[in-house]
Structure 1
Amino acid sequence: MKATLNVTLLAPGSAIEGNLILDHGVSLFGIVGGNLISNEGLLHVGPGGLVKGQVEGEHVRIDGVVEGDVHARGSLEINGRVKGNIFYCGTIRLGPSASLEGQLKRVARELTIENDPSPVPEASNVQQITRAAGSGS
Protein backbone atom coordinates (compact mmCIF):
# COMPACT_ATOMS: atom_id res chain seq x y z
CA MET A 1 0.00 0.00 0.00
CA LYS A 2 1.37 3.38 -0.98
CA ALA A 3 1.63 6.04 1.74
CA THR A 4 -0.07 9.35 0.95
CA LEU A 5 1.41 12.74 1.70
CA ASN A 6 -1.05 15.23 3.15
CA VAL A 7 0.02 18.86 3.43
CA THR A 8 -2.19 21.91 3.89
CA LEU A 9 -0.98 25.09 2.19
CA LEU A 10 -2.01 28.51 3.45
CA ALA A 11 -1.00 30.92 0.69
CA PRO A 12 0.20 34.52 1.07
CA GLY A 13 -2.75 36.83 1.67
CA SER A 14 -4.70 34.23 3.68
CA ALA A 15 -5.58 34.89 7.31
CA ILE A 16 -7.16 32.65 9.92
CA GLU A 17 -8.39 33.95 13.27
CA GLY A 18 -8.45 31.10 15.77
CA ASN A 19 -6.63 27.83 16.44
CA LEU A 20 -5.64 25.60 13.53
CA ILE A 21 -5.16 21.93 14.46
CA LEU A 22 -4.12 19.43 11.79
CA ASP A 23 -3.33 15.71 11.72
CA HIS A 24 -0.82 16.24 8.90
CA GLY A 25 1.77 18.72 7.65
CA VAL A 26 1.22 22.40 6.92
CA SER A 27 3.05 25.18 5.08
CA LEU A 28 1.97 28.65 6.17
CA PHE A 29 2.72 31.76 4.14
CA GLY A 30 -0.23 33.77 5.51
CA ILE A 31 -1.30 34.78 9.02
CA VAL A 32 -2.74 32.69 11.86
CA GLY A 33 -4.08 34.61 14.86
CA GLY A 34 -4.12 31.64 17.23
CA ASN A 35 -2.30 28.39 17.91
CA LEU A 36 -0.98 26.31 15.01
CA ILE A 37 -0.72 22.60 15.86
CA SER A 38 0.30 19.77 13.52
CA ASN A 39 0.26 16.24 14.95
CA GLU A 40 2.39 14.65 12.20
CA GLY A 41 4.68 15.73 9.40
CA LEU A 42 6.31 19.08 8.80
CA LEU A 43 4.94 22.29 10.26
CA HIS A 44 6.51 25.05 8.15
CA VAL A 45 6.07 28.76 8.78
CA GLY A 46 7.38 30.09 5.49
CA PRO A 47 8.85 33.49 4.61
CA GLY A 48 6.11 36.08 5.10
CA GLY A 49 4.18 33.71 7.38
CA LEU A 50 3.10 34.93 10.83
CA VAL A 51 1.70 33.01 13.79
CA LYS A 52 0.40 34.98 16.77
CA GLY A 53 0.11 32.06 19.15
CA GLN A 54 1.73 28.78 20.10
CA VAL A 55 3.28 26.52 17.45
CA GLU A 56 3.46 22.77 18.08
CA GLY A 57 4.55 20.00 15.73
CA GLU A 58 6.60 16.92 15.11
CA HIS A 59 9.08 18.54 12.71
CA VAL A 60 9.04 22.35 12.81
CA ARG A 61 10.72 24.79 10.45
CA ILE A 62 10.38 28.54 10.99
CA ASP A 63 11.36 30.86 8.16
CA GLY A 64 8.76 33.50 9.04
CA VAL A 65 7.68 34.96 12.39
CA VAL A 66 6.19 33.27 15.46
CA GLU A 67 4.95 35.40 18.36
CA GLY A 68 4.44 32.66 20.93
CA ASP A 69 6.03 29.50 22.29
CA VAL A 70 7.35 26.81 19.94
CA HIS A 71 7.15 23.09 20.80
CA ALA A 72 8.94 20.57 18.56
CA ARG A 73 8.73 16.83 19.27
CA GLY A 74 11.28 15.90 16.59
CA SER A 75 13.50 18.26 14.66
CA LEU A 76 13.45 22.06 14.82
CA GLU A 77 14.99 24.48 12.34
CA ILE A 78 14.82 28.24 12.78
CA ASN A 79 15.80 30.71 10.07
CA GLY A 80 13.16 33.30 10.98
CA ARG A 81 12.12 35.12 14.16
CA VAL A 82 10.63 33.66 17.34
CA LYS A 83 9.32 35.84 20.18
CA GLY A 84 8.67 33.20 22.82
CA ASN A 85 10.16 30.20 24.54
CA ILE A 86 11.34 27.20 22.55
CA PHE A 87 10.81 23.64 23.81
CA TYR A 88 12.40 20.86 21.75
CA CYS A 89 12.99 17.11 22.15
CA GLY A 90 15.13 16.14 19.16
CA THR A 91 17.59 18.16 17.15
CA ILE A 92 17.68 21.92 16.74
CA ARG A 93 19.32 23.98 14.02
CA LEU A 94 19.62 27.75 14.04
CA GLY A 95 20.27 29.35 10.67
CA PRO A 96 22.35 32.49 10.06
CA SER A 97 19.27 34.74 10.09
CA ALA A 98 17.61 33.21 13.20
CA SER A 99 16.34 35.70 15.77
CA LEU A 100 15.24 34.47 19.20
CA GLU A 101 13.61 36.43 22.03
CA GLY A 102 13.03 33.82 24.70
CA GLN A 103 14.56 30.76 26.29
CA LEU A 104 15.64 27.51 24.68
CA LYS A 105 14.70 24.44 26.72
CA ARG A 106 15.43 20.84 25.84
CA VAL A 107 12.69 18.66 27.28
CA ALA A 108 12.24 14.91 27.54
CA ARG A 109 10.08 13.34 24.87
CA GLU A 110 6.58 12.93 26.22
CA LEU A 111 5.78 9.34 27.13
CA THR A 112 2.57 7.72 26.01
CA ILE A 113 1.22 5.34 28.61
CA GLU A 114 -0.89 2.63 27.06
CA ASN A 115 -3.07 0.05 28.76
CA ASP A 116 -1.32 -3.22 29.56
CA PRO A 117 -2.65 -5.73 26.99
CA SER A 118 -2.13 -8.72 29.32
CA PRO A 119 -5.28 -9.67 31.19
CA VAL A 120 -5.42 -9.31 34.94
CA PRO A 121 -5.36 -12.80 36.46
CA GLU A 122 -8.49 -13.69 38.33
CA ALA A 123 -8.47 -15.48 41.68
CA SER A 124 -8.43 -19.24 41.19
CA ASN A 125 -7.92 -22.36 43.27
CA VAL A 126 -4.36 -22.68 41.95
CA GLN A 127 -3.38 -19.25 43.28
CA GLN A 128 -5.04 -19.94 46.62
CA ILE A 129 -3.20 -23.25 46.95
CA THR A 130 0.10 -21.60 45.99
CA ARG A 131 -0.37 -18.89 48.60
CA ALA A 132 -1.36 -21.44 51.22
CA ALA A 133 1.68 -23.59 50.47
CA GLY A 134 3.99 -20.54 50.52
CA SER A 135 2.61 -19.20 53.81
CA GLY A 136 3.00 -22.50 55.63
CA SER A 137 6.82 -22.41 55.45
Structure 2
Amino acid sequence: MFSSKKNNGSSGGSSKPTQGLTTLIAPGTAIRGDVNFSGAMYIQGRIEGTLSAEGDNASLTLSDEGCVIGEIHAPRVVLNGQVKGDVHASERLELAEAARIEGNIYYKVLEMAAGAQINGKMVHQSEPPKRLPAPATAAAEPA
Protein backbone atom coordinates (compact mmCIF):
# COMPACT_ATOMS: atom_id res chain seq x y z
CA MET A 1 0.00 0.00 0.00
CA PHE A 2 2.74 2.48 0.93
CA SER A 3 5.57 1.12 -1.17
CA SER A 4 6.31 1.75 -4.78
CA LYS A 5 8.08 -0.97 -6.72
CA LYS A 6 10.35 -0.16 -9.59
CA ASN A 7 12.07 -2.68 -11.79
CA ASN A 8 15.67 -1.57 -11.58
CA GLY A 9 17.22 -4.88 -12.46
CA SER A 10 17.74 -6.05 -8.90
CA SER A 11 16.49 -9.42 -7.80
CA GLY A 12 15.00 -8.13 -4.54
CA GLY A 13 16.17 -9.14 -1.08
CA SER A 14 17.72 -6.90 1.51
CA SER A 15 20.11 -4.18 0.49
CA LYS A 16 23.30 -3.31 2.32
CA PRO A 17 23.59 0.13 3.89
CA THR A 18 25.45 2.56 1.69
CA GLN A 19 28.93 3.50 2.90
CA GLY A 20 29.61 7.19 3.43
CA LEU A 21 26.09 8.21 4.43
CA THR A 22 25.75 11.50 6.29
CA THR A 23 23.07 12.17 8.89
CA LEU A 24 22.17 15.78 9.68
CA ILE A 25 20.46 16.89 12.87
CA ALA A 26 19.32 20.34 11.79
CA PRO A 27 19.01 23.46 13.96
CA GLY A 28 15.76 23.43 15.93
CA THR A 29 15.68 19.62 16.02
CA ALA A 30 15.78 17.91 19.42
CA ILE A 31 16.16 14.16 19.89
CA ARG A 32 15.67 12.43 23.23
CA GLY A 33 17.05 8.89 23.38
CA ASP A 34 20.12 6.92 22.42
CA VAL A 35 21.31 7.21 18.81
CA ASN A 36 23.36 4.60 16.93
CA PHE A 37 24.81 5.76 13.61
CA SER A 38 27.23 4.75 10.90
CA GLY A 39 29.00 6.93 8.39
CA ALA A 40 29.09 10.61 9.30
CA MET A 41 26.78 12.49 11.65
CA TYR A 42 26.60 16.30 11.65
CA ILE A 43 24.74 17.87 14.57
CA GLN A 44 23.42 21.42 14.56
CA GLY A 45 20.48 20.64 16.87
CA ARG A 46 20.23 19.00 20.30
CA ILE A 47 20.53 15.36 21.34
CA GLU A 48 19.81 14.08 24.84
CA GLY A 49 21.13 10.52 25.03
CA THR A 50 24.15 8.41 24.18
CA LEU A 51 25.61 8.67 20.67
CA SER A 52 27.32 5.48 19.50
CA ALA A 53 29.07 5.03 16.17
CA GLU A 54 29.00 1.68 14.43
CA GLY A 55 32.09 0.85 12.39
CA ASP A 56 35.67 2.06 12.26
CA ASN A 57 34.98 4.72 9.60
CA ALA A 58 32.28 6.65 11.48
CA SER A 59 32.69 10.29 12.42
CA LEU A 60 30.71 12.82 14.42
CA THR A 61 30.79 16.60 14.01
CA LEU A 62 29.08 18.97 16.45
CA SER A 63 28.64 22.51 15.13
CA ASP A 64 28.94 25.62 17.28
CA GLU A 65 25.11 25.73 17.59
CA GLY A 66 24.83 22.02 18.49
CA CYS A 67 24.41 20.47 21.94
CA VAL A 68 24.76 16.90 23.20
CA ILE A 69 23.69 15.89 26.70
CA GLY A 70 25.03 12.37 27.08
CA GLU A 71 28.03 10.27 26.16
CA ILE A 72 29.67 10.22 22.74
CA HIS A 73 31.42 7.08 21.38
CA ALA A 74 32.97 7.40 17.90
CA PRO A 75 36.33 6.85 16.19
CA ARG A 76 36.61 10.44 14.93
CA VAL A 77 34.96 13.36 16.74
CA VAL A 78 35.04 17.08 15.92
CA LEU A 79 33.42 19.32 18.55
CA ASN A 80 32.63 23.01 18.28
CA GLY A 81 29.49 23.10 20.44
CA GLN A 82 28.43 22.10 23.95
CA VAL A 83 28.70 18.58 25.40
CA LYS A 84 27.54 17.55 28.88
CA GLY A 85 28.89 14.02 29.21
CA ASP A 86 31.98 11.94 28.52
CA VAL A 87 33.54 11.83 25.04
CA HIS A 88 35.24 8.64 23.81
CA ALA A 89 37.17 9.14 20.56
CA SER A 90 38.97 5.90 19.69
CA GLU A 91 41.00 7.49 16.88
CA ARG A 92 40.97 11.32 16.84
CA LEU A 93 39.34 14.12 18.83
CA GLU A 94 39.36 17.68 17.54
CA LEU A 95 38.16 20.51 19.78
CA ALA A 96 37.46 23.77 17.94
CA GLU A 97 37.52 27.19 19.58
CA ALA A 98 33.84 27.21 20.64
CA ALA A 99 33.89 23.68 22.16
CA ARG A 100 32.55 23.48 25.73
CA ILE A 101 32.89 20.04 27.34
CA GLU A 102 31.55 19.20 30.81
CA GLY A 103 32.83 15.67 31.24
CA ASN A 104 35.88 13.51 30.75
CA ILE A 105 37.47 13.03 27.35
CA TYR A 106 39.12 9.80 26.25
CA TYR A 107 41.24 10.12 23.11
CA LYS A 108 44.05 8.58 21.10
CA VAL A 109 45.01 11.77 19.20
CA LEU A 110 43.88 15.21 20.38
CA GLU A 111 43.86 18.55 18.57
CA MET A 112 42.63 21.50 20.62
CA ALA A 113 42.20 25.07 19.43
CA ALA A 114 42.72 28.11 21.64
CA GLY A 115 39.45 28.94 23.37
CA ALA A 116 38.13 25.37 23.71
CA GLN A 117 37.13 24.50 27.28
CA ILE A 118 37.11 21.17 29.14
CA ASN A 119 35.71 20.77 32.63
CA GLY A 120 36.81 17.20 33.33
CA LYS A 121 39.70 14.81 32.93
CA MET A 122 41.71 14.29 29.76
CA VAL A 123 42.66 10.62 29.44
CA HIS A 124 45.01 9.41 26.69
CA GLN A 125 44.09 5.96 25.37
CA SER A 126 47.06 4.22 23.82
CA GLU A 127 46.77 1.12 21.70
CA PRO A 128 46.51 -2.08 23.68
CA PRO A 129 49.84 -3.90 23.91
CA LYS A 130 50.38 -6.65 21.39
CA ARG A 131 50.55 -10.09 22.94
CA LEU A 132 53.60 -12.18 22.24
CA PRO A 133 53.20 -15.91 21.64
CA ALA A 134 53.68 -18.08 24.72
CA PRO A 135 57.14 -19.66 24.98
CA ALA A 136 57.50 -23.33 24.17
CA THR A 137 57.56 -25.22 27.48
CA ALA A 138 58.24 -28.78 26.28
CA ALA A 139 61.95 -28.18 25.60
CA ALA A 140 62.43 -26.21 28.83
CA GLU A 141 61.19 -28.93 31.24
CA PRO A 142 63.90 -30.63 33.33
CA ALA A 143 64.46 -34.36 32.84
TM-score (normalised: structure 2): 0.71
Question: Residue 127 of structure 1 aligns with which residue?
Answer: none
Tell me the CA shift for residue 41 of structure 1.
2.3
Contact 1:53–1:67 (Cα < 8 Å) also in 2 = yes
Aligned counterparts, 1:79-94, within 5 A: 79=96, 80-89=99-108, 91-94=109-112
More helix by share: 1
In structure 2, what is the Cα distance between the partners aligned to 1:50 and 1:21?
17
3-state SS, counterpart of residue 91 of structure 2:
coil
Partner of 2:77: 60
Given that 2:24 and 2:41 are in contact with CA atoms closer than 8 Å, whether structure 1 keeps it comes out as: yes
Please list every run of at least 4 consecutive aligned residues from structure 1 whose deviation after the TM superposition is greater than 6 angstroms.
Answer: none
Q: Separation in 2 of the partners of 1:73 and 1:106? A: 10
Correspondence for 2:24:
9
User: What's the CA shift for 1:109?
Assistant: 3.7
Match of 1:72 in 2: 89
Separation in structure 2 between the aligned mates of residue 26 and residue 110 of structure 1, nearest angstrom? 27
**Residue identity in the other structure for 2:125:** V
Deviation at 1:110, TM superposition (A): 6.1
Residue 121 of structure 2 is matched in structure 1 by: 103
- Post-superposition offset of 1:5: 1.9
RMSD after superposition: 1.8
Mind listing any 5+ residue stretches in structure 1 that lack a counterpart?
112-136
Of all paired residues, the percent bearing the same amino acid is 29
Q: TM-score, normalised by structure 1?
A: 0.74
Determine which of 32, 41, 53 is the counterpart of 1:38: 53
Q: Does the aligned pair in 2 maintain the 1:26–1:38 contact within 8 Å? A: no
Instruction: Report the counterpart of residue 118 of structure 1 in structure 2.
Output: none
- Cα distance in 2, alignment partners of residues 82 and 4 from structure 1: 30
Is the contact made by 2:19 and 2:39 (CA closer than 8 Å) also made in structure 1? no
2:13 aligns with none
Amino acid at match of 1:71: H
Q: Which residue of 2 aligns with 1:25?
A: 40
Task: Point out the structure with max Rg over C-alpha.
Answer: 1
- Kindly provide the CA deviation profile for residues 82-137 of structure 1, in whole angstroms up to 9, marking residues without a partner as x: 00000012x101111200000000123469xxxxxxxxxxxxxxxxxxxxxxxxx9
